Structure 1
Amino acid sequence: MYHSVGDCSDDPYRITVTPDRLDRQLRWLRGQGLRGVSVGELLAARARGGGRDLVGLTFDDGYADFVAHALPVLARRECTATLFVLPGRLGGDNAWDPRGPRKPLLTADGIRRAAAAGVEIGSHGLTHVDLTRADDARLAAETAGSRAALEELTGTPVSGFCYPYGTVDRRAVDAVRRAGYGYACAIDPGGLNGPHVLPRVHVGQNDTGVRLFLKYRLHRLRRRPVEGLR
């Protein structure tokens, strides 16, 4: 789970990695015989009984620096990824982060450029709200509404969703499933399980190859296998 790729000198939420650090992390990944791909590609490979050499890479929030800094590194290391964006904040910024610097978000054209480069586009909701606190109308807009907006923007089906803040409960999961998403990503979904609450490992600026290996091993110990994706 990545977020922003750029200058991390002012990064109170630790959501940013530099392009050089991302390159070194992906180089380490490739050195382990693994390749970073979109979550959609990973799940399809696992459904066929393969994918043991694949790792799903995700980038949350849809920061504009993804096109400028992440795409060239992904291409250099022959990797792809899933980019979770906010169609209700196109060209805006991360106003939901009160302590952090304002980071610009992708425009519609930037999202199309990422899609054209082979990146899977998924929804991060419409405007980045906590779905566990949303009323019924907002919940529908953030799930079904954001999917419809992204499919119109990209001209392709949108299968993936990512819960803002990583917060999730059964009601949010049900709304995402009703909206037609094939899978959804969380962080640590607690007692929930299944393809609509996929857990992820956060990757930051300080993560070297050794730290990535330890995070992977500890994550597998903490999380039971997702049903159907063992």
Structure 2
Amino acid sequence: MLVSADRAPSAAPGPDRPRRRPGPPAWVAMYHSVGDCSDDPYRVTVSPGRLDRQLGWLRRRGLRGVGVHELLAARARGEGQDLVGLTFDDGYTDFLTHALPLLRRHACGATLFVLPGRLGGENTWDPRGPRKPLLSADGIRHAAAEGVEIGSHGLTHVDLTRADDALLRAEVRDSRAALRELTGAHIHGFCYPYGLVDRRAVDAVRDAGYSYACATDPSDLSGPLAIPRVHIGERDTAWRLRLKHLLRRHPVEGV
């Protein structure tokens, strides 16, 4: 069962309280940059036109994109079968210029996972491909003011499965504290850099007080601190989106 850091767990099913039948697995889509795809060796960029068509496809099917915290809260109530989690990793400045206007056009929300240790910096962790600017503190505050859920992607985008204990704690715990101070809001979610996660990283995220965390393919790990996501890229036309939606990842226990 998902337990938010701000609320107590709901009553467990008893003899007079039947357990709700779980719905289909929650679908969480993973985006990164929105802009020019001409130089994109990692296939992490979607063009604004493609994102516009992808969001339109969701809406035509009666689905609505939301932030992950909203999605999980709805699923915990036995609702939200028409909701899709939309996540944008790394906190590129093009989220404000390209993604946010399209989300507003289609009445969708999203979670933006950012790096408070690289405010106003660049994606220097990518050895190939173009350098892309990252949001400043003011940019993150602007996104939050527009209703975008802000989550942590760590401080500096390091592989947590290879970090020593001190670095692991700093990337997970200190990034949450920095974002809470920056936005003035509770930070519910974490996103594992590179999508890589192991038991140590999950334990660190839990100890830091997050209520959920997103990965790419968490393998044998499960639960709200190891939520699988589906990569969405420029090649994902309507039929590919439909296939990915039908073949969504394994369910998260309690979601």
18, 41, 44: which is aligned to 1:12?
Answer: 41
Q: Percent identity?
A: 76
Output aligned runs, 1:13-162, within 5 Å.
Answer: 13-162=42-191
Q: SS in structure 2 opposite 1:103?
A: coil
* 1:175 has 2:204 as partner: yes
CA RMSD, Structure 1 to Structure 2 (Å): 0.6
The CA deviation at 1:215 is 1.4
Q: Which consecutive unaligned segments of at least 5 residues does structure 2 have?
A: 1-29
* 1:228 has 2:254 as partner: yes
Q: Which consecutive unaligned segments of at least 5 residues does structure 1 have?
A: none
The CA deviation at 1:49 is 0.8
> Which of 1 and 2 has higher RCO (CA within 8 Å, sep 6+)?
2
The CA deviation at 1:100 is 1.2
The CA deviation at 1:218 is 2.4
Q: In 2, Cα distance between the equivalents of 1:177 and 1:157?
A: 15
1:228 aligned partner, one-letter code: G
The CA deviation at 1:217 is 2.0
1:192 aligned partner, one-letter code: L
1:99 aligned partner, one-letter code: R
Q: In 2, Cα distance between the equivalents of 1:224 and 1:12?
A: 28
The CA deviation at 1:130 is 0.3
* Pair member with larger Rg: 2
1:34 aligned partner, one-letter code: L
Runs of 4+ in 1 over 3 A off after TM superposition: none
Q: In 1, Cα distance between the equivalents of 2:78 and 2:245?
A: 21
Show the counterpart of 1:165: 194
Q: SS in structure 2 opposite 1:66?
A: helix
Q: In 2, Cα distance between the equivalents of 1:79 and 1:132?
A: 33
Q: In 1, Cα distance between the equivalents of 2:252 and 2:236?
A: 25
Q: In 1, Cα distance between the equivalents of 2:41 and 2:57?
A: 26
Residues matched between the structures, number: 226
Q: Deviations over 1:104-151 (max 9, x none)?
A: 000000000100111000000000000000011100110000000000
